[in-house]
Chain A
Amino acid sequence: MKPARRMLDVVPAWLEAHRDAGRRSLQRRMQAPVLSLISIAVLGFILALPAYLWVLLDNARALSAHVDHDPRIALYLDGVEAATVADLERHLETDARVERWTWIDADDALATYREGMSDPGLLDWLDENPLPDVVDVVPATADPDTVAALREALAATAPDATVVSDDEWVRQLNSLHQLGLRILAVVGALLGLGALLILALATASELRERREEIAISRISGATHRFLRRPSLYGGLITGLGGGIFAGILLLIGIGLSRAPLEQAAAAFDLEFALGLPGASHLLTLLLAGLLLGWLGARLGSGHALRDAP
């Protein structure tokens, strides 16, 4: 019975076996479309919720980047030596994180201050100019981590200077965003686990329906790998369908949330337009669907096939 087959045939035969398993799996789904569609719908609903949160979070992050208030870093050069100031200037010229910077001379600052006073004569009481020279730095980005890193780098170049940044609001928004991401991760993990169990159960019950075929195949020498192959393709089909359905739900959900969210933002004097999910969101949904579908099928088939002789 040793099949006299050439080694060259092994790969095409393997591909054909996979194609057959995939086709048979698809046919089985066409034969029971309602059950298959329910699986796809369940996965779609489960994926859509975290995806919706994710898109909202991404929008919130975009909001922090768009607000008309660039973070700034001020260096107060009180008692800083000329050599250090030269180092600092070199640093500011070369650091890519610096958008632009302005030198505010202490005398100029005092003059400006004097102009704004109703009784400039008061300043004559001072023995010397109390204002330091100041470097006003506009970072190239509002990203809080980058701003923080730039601030530290500048502080290291001019250790005697007092470095102050006004990105506190960015920090607050960022920590809220981090919290949101954490919630998203927890919700996503719990829902994903639930989806996994549902898909595993669906696979196990499908294998129960195939038990006669499986018994006959086993007698003919089928391996676990061979027997579970159609189930894995079934899982991928469900996963793909679930991912696509979740993407549609997400687009609808975001579409419906746009107007109320923009109104709410306007109430807080924020100009805000909710962006639609991007390609990366939709692609991630598809991949998450495929992964869950495959894992669920693997889990369910592993369990169902282990017991059989």
Chain B
Amino acid sequence: MIHLQRVTKRFGSAGEALSNVSLRVDPGAMAFITGPSGAGKSTLLRLIAGLERPTRGRIRVNGHDLDRLSNRAIPGFRRSIGLVFQDHRLLFDRPVFDNVALPLEILAYRRPEMRKRVRAALDKVGLLHKETVNPRTLSAGEQQRVGIARAIVHRPVLLLADEPTGNLDPALSREILQLFDDFNRVGMTALIASHDLGLVERMGKPVLHLEDGRVEARAAGEGTA
């Protein structure tokens, strides 16, 4: 599903955010990326999502060679991915329902089907009763769950999450990771970045440890999941 070969990403003169990173995640797998902030976790996820291009190396995701993907083909590629952010990135000018429906709108779903899928996604994260409220009025945990519903509503083959539990207390964090585990059980490949080592280790999944833009593989060995 994800295959990185000696990927390096440099941002101008700021040095290398990632150096020579290789990584493989098989279809249907679930894996974690850990490391302190600034280790390059977000950069790695952004590269895999096609939001950044590598300076060197090859990235293959879901059958697409990202280093060779044309600008025109990028939107199509991104539709096969769901992304969850630490800061949720919800739109506060519209209710929860419309936030979750956004990927389906982009995919030009018709209203009845859209309604069905949005409600199913909200139900999955336990927020069906909040579909008409403005996300501004929700708690941090609820906002994160709306973000997750938005990331999975179009049933992506790959779910990427960047510090999804960053602002949450341990109980809520476990709950969120359990959600990812549930999605993974129904076939969604998941790659989750987190600095919370204890929490990650309790999940018993392969872990890729990043330090200063370099891989220090743990648990899974050789950065493979």
Chain A contact residues, CB within 8 Å of chain B? 1, 3, 5, 9-10, 12-14, 16-17, 20, 212-213, 215-223, 226, 309
Cα A51 to Cα B69 with chains together (Å): 50
* Shortest Cβ-Cβ A-B pairs, 6 listed: A221-B79, A221-B78, A220-B103, A13-B108, A221-B75, A1-B155
Number of contact residues on B: which range applies? Answer: 20 to 34
Identify whether the interface residues of B are mostly helix, strand, loop, or mixed: loop
Chain B contact residues, CB within 8 Å of chain A? 49, 51-52, 75-81, 83, 89, 91, 93, 102-103, 105-111, 113, 150, 154-157
Which among A1, A217, A223, A309 is the interface contact of B157 at CB below 8 angstroms?
A: A1
A sample of 14 more A-B contacts (CB under 8 A), given A1-B80, A3-B107, is: A1-B157, A5-B113, A16-B111, A20-B105, A215-B89, A216-B89, A218-B78, A219-B49, A220-B79, A220-B103, A221-B75, A222-B75, A222-B106, A226-B106
Cα A226 to Cα B109 with chains together (Å): 13
**Nearest chain B CB to A290 CB, angstrom units:** 25
**Nearest chain B CB to A19 CB, angstrom units:** 10
Q: Is the CB of A220 within 8 A of B51?
A: no
Give 17 pairs: A residue, B residue, CB < 8 Å, sorted on A. A1-B155, A5-B109, A13-B109, A16-B111, A215-B89, A216-B91, A217-B102, A217-B106, A219-B78, A220-B78, A220-B79, A220-B106, A221-B103, A223-B75, A226-B106, A309-B51, A309-B52
- Give every chain B residue within 8 A of A219 (Cβ-Cβ): 49, 51, 78, 83
- Give every chain B residue within 8 A of A9 (Cβ-Cβ): 110
Cα A9 to Cα B76 with chains together (Å): 19
- Give every chain B residue within 8 A of A223 (Cβ-Cβ): 75
**Nearest chain B CB to A210 CB, angstrom units:** 9
Cα A14 to Cα B51 with chains together (Å): 27
A221 with B83: in contact, given A212-B91, A216-B91, A309-B51 (CB under 8 Å)?
Answer: no
Q: Which among A1, A213, A222 has the greatest number of chain B C-beta atoms within 10 A?
A: A1
The closest CB in chain A to the CB of B83 belongs to A219
Q: Is the CB of A220 within 8 A of B108?
A: no
- Give every chain A residue within 8 A of B81 (Cβ-Cβ): 221
- Give every chain A residue within 8 A of B79 (Cβ-Cβ): 1, 220-221
Q: Is the CB of A221 within 8 A of B76?
A: yes
